[in-house]
Copies of this chain bind each other. A is one copy, B any other.
Amino acid sequence: MSDYIPTLDQQLCFSLYGASMAINRAYKPLLDALEITYPQYLVLSALWETDGMSVGAIGERLGLDSSNVTPLVKRMEGAGLVSRVRNPADERQVVVSLTDAGRDMQARSTCLGQTLFAAGGMSVERLVQLNKEVQAFRDSVSRFVSEQPRG
């Protein structure tokens, strides 16, 4: 009982892992056309909600640490999507702000959600419910991790 051995398909981790990769593959041609990557799209999404976040705040929002966000945002700066400026009030912080190109990307990226909706083949209601369940699971696991000794 305590050493029950599940098959691959019985493991939620495998479904979620595969779903994430499948989404990336569905997004790929659209992201290529926009000349951004998926994590870059997430950074933009975070900034569309709250422009001018620090590197740390972006990482907090997306669940990534500075070693991911720093090079990500630097590439986005190179692509002209954001600017990076040290906060004069606290020189430790780097404030990331949208450029016009970064703002324009919001309207240009609506194809992503539309495509995923078409690809998912589910009703809006079912997708909303699925999103709620996945969020609840994610948040519970994240809470668990942060409560662990090494978290």
- B135 and A15 form a contact (CB under 8 A): yes
The number of chain A residues with a CB under 8 A from chain B is 65
Taking CB as reference atom, which chain B residue is nearest A61? B8
- B106 and A15 form a contact (CB under 8 A): no
Taking CB as reference atom, which chain B residue is nearest A6? B113
- B118 and A26 form a contact (CB under 8 A): no
- A137 and B19 form a contact (CB under 8 A): yes
**Which of B42, B45, B118 is in CB contact (< 8 Å) with A144?**
B118
Cα–Cα, bound, A99→B25 (Å): 34
Let me know if A125 is at the binding interface, CB within 8 A.
Answer: no
- Number of copies of this chain that the complex holds: 2
Q: Mark A46-81, 1 if CB is under 8 A from B, else 0.
A: 101100000000000111000000000000000000
Given A8-B49, A9-B135, A42 contacting B14 (CB threshold 8 A)? yes
- B113 and A11 form a contact (CB under 8 A): yes
Main secondary structure of the interface of A (DSSP, over half): helix
B contact residues around A11 at 8 Å (CB): 45, 113, 131
Chain A residues 1-36 with CB under 8 Å of chain B are: 2-23, 25-27, 29
> Which residues does A use to contact B, with CB under 8 Å?
2-23, 25-27, 29, 38, 42, 45-46, 48-49, 61-63, 106-107, 110, 112-114, 116, 118-122, 126-127, 130-131, 133-138, 140-142, 144-145, 148, 150-151
